[in-house]
Amino acid sequence: MRIAVLDDHAGVFGSLPAAARLAGHDVVAFTDPVRGDDLVARLDGFDAVVLLQQRTPLPADVVERLRTLRMVSQTGRNTSHLALAALAERGVVVSAGGAGGPNATAELTWALVLAAQRHLPAEVAALRDGRWQSTVGIGLNAKTLGVYGLGRIGSLVADVGRAFGMDVLVWGREGSLVRAEQAGYAVAESREDFFRACDVLCVHLPLNADTAGIVTADDLAEMKPDALFVNTSRAGLVAPGALVAALLAGRPGRAAVDVFDDEPVLGAADPLLTLPTVTATPHLGYVERDVLAGLYDAAVDQLLAFAAGTPINVVGS
């Protein structure tokens, strides 16, 4: 088979064990993102494509013009970015499987919190520019950590907050509140109290029809002027434009984000990146070598099964 590996931004695929397992197949890994007509042109001549998480969508208007594609190997089980009906109509097999685990994103969450609280990006830049100590950081001990969504990632983030001596406060659906009580964490009396009380507020929710825009402008306006809002989940959890407007209004005072409305963000073309009160990273949450090795292994399992005529993890329209 001729196989395209899309969005290998850091060029890591070829160095992983998964790549060696495709010996005998013609594999091309692409580091640069493309969309629309460019994506159609890129995939022309390929039998199969590997999609890493939701980096590249396959909408119907693209799928309808894919002449040679016979198989999509998707890492993870989220297929919301794929036009499954259009793919099925063209006889393209979609296999989706594997999982990354919560640890890498939880670790990145705390890297962002610490970087924002202690102004690390500014201090590193100042030191390299010949200056010495230009900011005063904010500690975490005895502060209130808010965790919106106490699932696998949120639970790890909460545990670290407790280790730092923070008071952990939880909000979310019934499952999160039950887990909070079992773990000995406080549950906010109301949504308003949750947003008002937090010194650092981390959102750890999946993005779906129920959670899109779940963090509203009114929620953010309740936050303290010196609070930090952290999002390492999905940008779509926040109502469109609400975070930029809230930061400009001064509540919350700062944000740390790993996710954006339209990714990848090239040329710093996102309004959040214009604000000095924002600490940002380019969706690095799951981008950790062991995680990528596992995700690509799952993708290769699916490719080899398809090549053998026994596809696995097949999803329908």
Express each pLDDT in 253-304 by its tens digit. Answer: 999 999 999 999 999 999 999 999 999 999 999 999 999 999 999 999 999 9
Reported as a single tens digit per residue, the pLDDT across 95-149 is: 999 888 999 999 999 999 999 999 999 999 999 999 999 999 999 999 999 999 9
Q: Between β-strands 93-97 and 314-315, what pairing exists: parallel, antiparallel or unpaired?
A: antiparallel
Contacts of 275 (CB under 8 A, 6+ apart): 244, 247, 248, 255
Nearest to 237 by CA among 265, 258, 262, 216: 216
Instruction: Give the predicted TM-score (pTM) of the model.
Output: 0.94
Which pLDDT score is estimated for 182?
A: 97
* CA 239 – CA 216 distance, rounded (Å): 5
- Note the pLDDT of residue 99: 86
Confidence of residue 237 (pLDDT cuts 50, 70, 90): very high
Residues across the chain = 317
* Cα 296 from Cα 173, distance rounded (Å): 32
Is 263 labeled as catalytic in the residue annotation? yes
Q: Which of 9, 55, 251, 263 is catalytic?
A: 263
**Is residue 222 classed as helix, strand or coil in its secondary structure?**
coil
pLDDT tens digits for 184-203?
999 999 999 999 999 999 99
Q: What is the mean pLDDT of the chain?
A: 97
Where do the H-state alpha helices sit in 21-64? 36-43, 60-63
For tokens 């995939």, name the residue: 43
Q: How many whole angstroms separate alpha carbon 86 and alpha carbon 94?
A: 11
123, 234, 288, 289: which is the annotated catalytic residue? 234
Residue owning tokens 């779509």:
236
Predicted local distance difference test score (pLDDT) of residue 211: 97
What is the reported pLDDT for 149? 98
Q: Over 80: is that where the pLDDT of 317 sits?
A: no
Note the pLDDT tens digit of each residue in 62-91.
999 999 999 999 999 999 999 999 999 999
- Second CATH level (architecture) for the domain 103-280: 3-Layer(aba) Sandwich (3.40)
The two three-digit tokens of residue 292, written as one number: 């990528």
Q: Which two tokens stand for residue 136?
A: 């005063």
What's the rounded mean pLDDT across residues 214-236? 98
Positions of CATH 3.40.50.720 in the chain: 2-100+288-315, 103-280
Query: How far is Cα 34 from Cα 50, in angstroms, rounded to an integer?
Result: 14
283 tagged catalytic: yes
Residue with tokens 């959890």, as numbered in its chain = 237
Catalytic residue among 42, 179, 254, 283: 283
Residue 100: its pLDDT value, please? 85
Superfamily of domain 2-100+288-315: NAD(P)-binding Rossmann-like Domain (3.40.50.720)
